[in-house]
Structure 1
């Protein structure tokens, strides 16, 4: 029996894993969890879905009498978000203290590769979602970000920037800062 992914189960578990790895307080965990759900998933999803909905309906339609629905675009985002969430919120925290949190080339390579693969999956699954619509043409344009992504990946590894370390510091900062 096939069971669809339930984001309601995955997100709290990955947020608990993050809280343990980052040493977050209970309030830090709650803030982190709410940020992941409402900003990372829904907020970014609304922006991406709206942008791709506009692009699809403006330049990629084969005929003028059919439109891509915004809800479909948001659904494509959710489908593409799951592998990204798995890579960045499960794999990365599990590997962080063992393989990524070091100031050397191998740690930087591994940490940045996780980000490259996660965002690459997002781009590819988004491409597949729009390619499935027969009313669209030239959907290969959704693969164009791979060029920039690869150049950025190589540049960050060679420049000495460990994106995973920066992200973990940012996650900790946004979850544990207290307004007085």
Structure 2
């Protein structure tokens, strides 16, 4: 008697179809391709920018920088992304740098062409290019050497080893935020103190060189805090090592090298 159930047809001759795999690399690629256009599109949509948050970050980058990156951690919990789509911080700092460049130009190189050149130099070379270079270096070096190994153990905050992705836009945001104290000390405070700093007195060297030490120490500390906020990175304290070099160079410079005077001459001429 024939069986009531026929055997399933042979799969021979049929194409083998598998569901597409959504790998972490694919997810990262999709997130990057989706997030970058949104970030740049919002540059032209001022009503959508959170300038109040940007100003809060700027204030706290000087008085309590840990708060800034603690808020970024909360952003990760709600948006599932370390980087933000809000370009308000970059837009605001670019505006401040433009005003600063005009002020420097009017004071020291009062010609239209010189002021335009100075605006371009401060905004695109000093700020954006430097931030991109530091972001690229941080993205590559931290991703290669500071990421928790894939095998064994947990990262900070219980993150499984190798379980986090370093986002380039987040690295860029670290560089942008680290530049803000540099702008405060070297583009604003130094501007008002140049009548003293340009002199050949020892106190001029001490104050001017100390401004550069403070500015770049802030840069190193904020960069460290930015990467240290990522629980899948370890040994991020190595980012603070340049401070030792800065202190040594600062001490040596007090023997007779006026950093402020020589650097400003390079800016302006």
Please report the TM-score for the alignment, with normalisation by the length of structure 1.
0.90
Q: How many residues align?
A: 171
Q: Could you tell me how far 1:65 is from its partner in structure 2? A: 4.5
The unaligned stretches of length 5 or more in structure 2 are 1-50, 56-91, 149-160
Separation of aligned partners in 1, 2:127 and 2:116: 16
Instruction: Give 4+ residue runs of structure 1 displaced > 3 Å after superposition.
Output: none
Separation of aligned partners in 2, 1:111 and 1:170: 15
Matched, 1:170 2:266: yes
The unaligned stretches of length 5 or more in structure 1 are 174-180
Asked whether the 8 Å contact 1:24–1:172 carries over to 2, the reply is: no
CA RMSD of aligned residues (A): 1.5
Equivalence for 1:56: 142
Asked whether the 8 Å contact 1:108–1:157 carries over to 2, the reply is: yes
Please report the TM-score for the alignment, with normalisation by the length of structure 2.
0.61
Q: Deviations over 1:123-154 (max 9, x none)?
A: 11101101111111011011000110000111
Map 1:99-114 to 2 at 5 A. 99-114=196-211
Q: Could you tell me how far 1:20 is from its partner in structure 2? A: 2.9
Equivalence for 1:16: 102
**Could you say which structure has the larger radius of gyration?**
2
Q: Could you tell me how far 1:89 is from its partner in structure 2? A: 0.7
Separation of aligned partners in 2, 1:171 and 1:40: 10
Matched, 1:92 2:190: yes
Matched, 1:71 2:169: yes
| Alignment counterpart, residue 140 of structure 1, candidates 233, 237, 251 | 237
Task: Give 1 or 2: higher helix fraction.
Answer: 1
Asked whether the 8 Å contact 1:83–1:121 carries over to 2, the reply is: yes
Q: Could you tell me how far 1:3 is from its partner in structure 2? A: 4.0
3-state SS of 2:261 partner: helix
